[in-house]
Amino acid sequence: MAQNSRNWGRTSLVVALSGLTALAASVAPALADASPSTDTRSVSTGGSVLDSYIKQQGPLLDRERKLEAFKAWLIARPGINESGFIESVHDAANLSMTLLWHGNSPLQEQARREAATRGITVKFEQRKYSLQQLKAAIDTTWQQARAGGWAGFKISYIAGVTADYDGIVVNGSYTAPTANRSAAVRSLATQTGDVAVKVVAGGEATPAAATRSNDNAPFNAGGYMLSGSSTCSTGFSIGLSGSNYTTTARHCIAEGYHDRDGTNTYGTGKLFSGDGAARVLTESGSSLMFDGAYNDPSGYHKTVVGFGDVGLGTPVCTSGGNSGVHCNIVVNSMAVSFNDGYGAVTNILATQQTGGQIAAIQGDSGGPVFTLAGDGQVYAAGMIQAVGSPASNCGPVHDGGNICSTQVLFTSMRTIVNSIPGASLVTG
C-alpha cells in the first residue's frame, strides 16, 4: 500500500499501527450525499469471483445489508458522538447486533425501537472505557514508545475496539531478549492511564502501494497504476465542485501515475482528505468498481450505490489492482491507529476467513474495500491502506515478489468523504 493520514474517524476501529506494510509497491461535516455519475459504460456482472461469493452467501449478505443500513441510521442520530456509543458487533446469521456503549443514553432506547421495526435484535454491552479514553490511551502508548518506554518491542499496531477485550491491544514483535525488554513488555499486561492494555506478539504490518491495468478516464475503482517503480490502486471516486475525481491512498505519493500496462494518466495530486489518508487525483473517476481477478480480460465491474458502514463481524471484500477481488474477509478490530509515514490515522482491521486466500498485497494500496448491495451493485466501505503479517502464498497476482497477507487495514470511505468540504461519493 502507499502512505498518508490525520484524525480519528467515527466509523473506524481503534487500532494503532506502525511498521505495517503499506501497500504501495516497487517493480465532522454533515454526512455527505452521493454524487450520481454520468458514465454510461455497461455493467458487467457475470462469472467473477464476487458473483460466486454472492451465490454462496446470498441470504447471509442480505441480512448483513440490513445491519449496515441500521448502523447508518444509528451513526446519523444527533448527539451520537457524545452518547457513549463505541461500536457495533454484527451477527448477520442471527440478524442481531451488539452495541458497545459506555454509560447510558436515551439513544439506546431509540436504537432498540428502531431495530425492532427492522426485525433486528439489539443487545447492549457496557464497556468500562469510552471511545475517547481508548483513543487517548493509544496516543499515550505511541508517545511512550517514542520515549523508549517500549524498549525491546516494536509496535506494529494498537487495536482500540475489539469484540472480546475491554481495553487496547498492543500488537507487535520482540526486538530484544527478555532481560532487555521494558517492564511493560515483560509483564505482557499493563495499564495506560486508566485503560487496560494487553500486549500480543505478532507480525509486522506493511503499507500496500505496489480491464484493471488498461483503464481510461473516467477511471474505475480497483484499477492498477504505475509511476516509475511505484504501483498503487485507484479508490472510489469523489464528487467535488461539479466534477468527479479518482482517488488513491495518500502514501501513493508519486506523480505521473498511468495505467499499469498502458499510457493513460491519472493526472496529478489535487488534494488530501482531512481524515482517512486519501489522495484525490486530478483525472476523472466513474461510479464503477472493477470486479474479478487482477487479469480478468472482460473488465467485469460493479456499480457503487452508496456507503458501506461496517462494524465488528461485518464481512467485506477487497478489489486491489495487483491481486483482484477477495471476499469472506471479516472485520475484527475498529479504531485502528496506523502510521503510514505521514502520521497516524484511524483504520479498520479485517482478516481473511478462507484458507489459502489473501486479503491484499502490496500494490493494492488505495484500492476499494466494499460490501455487497445486490446484483451488480456494491457499497463503498473503505480504502486499502496496509497489510498485516506476511503470508507464504500470495496466489495469482500481476506483480509477484511483494508482501501479501490475510489481514488488511483500511480507512472508512465515509470518513474520507466527510473530511473534504463539499465532497460526495460518486454513485451510479
**DSSP state for residue 52 in the 8-state scheme:** H
Coil/strand/helix, residue 143: helix
Average pLDDT over residues 358-377: 94
Domain locations in the chain?
49-126, 149-189, 219-425
241: left (phi over 0), alpha (psi -120 to 50) or beta: left
The string of pLDDT tens digits covering residues 71-90 is 999 999 999 999 999 999 99
CA distance 159 to 215: 37
User: Among residues of the chain, what percentage have pLDDT more than 70?
Assistant: 83
Listed residue (344, 403, 366) closest to 156, CA to CA: 344
The string of pLDDT tens digits covering residues 396-420 is 999 988 899 999 999 999 999 999 9
**Taking the C-alpha atoms of 32, 333, 394 and 207 in order, what is their torsion angle to the nearest 10 degrees?**
60
Residue 314's pLDDT band (boundaries 50, 70, 90)? very high
Average pLDDT over residues 203-218: 74
Name the E strands within 161-265: 168-174, 189-192, 195-201, 206-209, 219-221, 224-227, 230-233, 235-240, 243-249, 258-259
Region of poorest pLDDT, from 75-79, 184-188, 225-229: 184-188
Number of neighbours of residue 183 by Cβ within 10 angstroms: 9
Domains 49-126 and 219-425 share a fold: no
Number of neighbours of residue 268 by Cβ within 10 angstroms: 11
Better-predicted residue by pLDDT, 194 or 31: 194
Burial category of 198 from C-beta neighbours within 10 Å (exposed 0-12, middle 13-18, buried 19 and up):
middle
In the structure, how many helices (H) and strands (E) does the chain have?
A: 5, 29
CA distance 297 to 240: 32
CA distance 157 to 206: 11
pLDDT at 182 over 90: no
Whole-number pLDDT of residue 44: 47
Whole-number pLDDT of residue 25: 55
Burial category of 148 from C-beta neighbours within 10 Å (exposed 0-12, middle 13-18, buried 19 and up):
exposed
Coil/strand/helix, residue 27: coil
Task: Take residue 85 and report the three cell numbers written for it.
Answer: 456509543
Q: How many CA atoms lie within 13 A of 287 on its CB side?
A: 26
342: left (phi over 0), alpha (psi -120 to 50) or beta: alpha
Listed residue (428, 417, 427, 426) closest to 32, CA to CA: 417
CA distance 214 to 225: 9
Please report where in the chains the cell 508519486 appears, as a residue. Answer: 254
Domain 219-425 sits in CATH 1.10.10.10 = no
The string of pLDDT tens digits covering residues 9-53 is 333 333 333 335 565 654 422 333 334 444 444 444 445 666 777
CA distance 371 to 104: 31
Name the E strands within 254-393: 258-259, 269-272, 278-290, 301-307, 315-320, 324-339, 344-352, 360-361, 368-374, 377-387
Whole-number pLDDT of residue 16: 32
Contact 366, 383 (CB under 8 A): yes
Average pLDDT over residues 296-310: 88
Domain 49-126 sits in CATH 3.30.300 = yes
Better-predicted residue by pLDDT, 226 or 146: 226
CA distance 185 to 40: 57
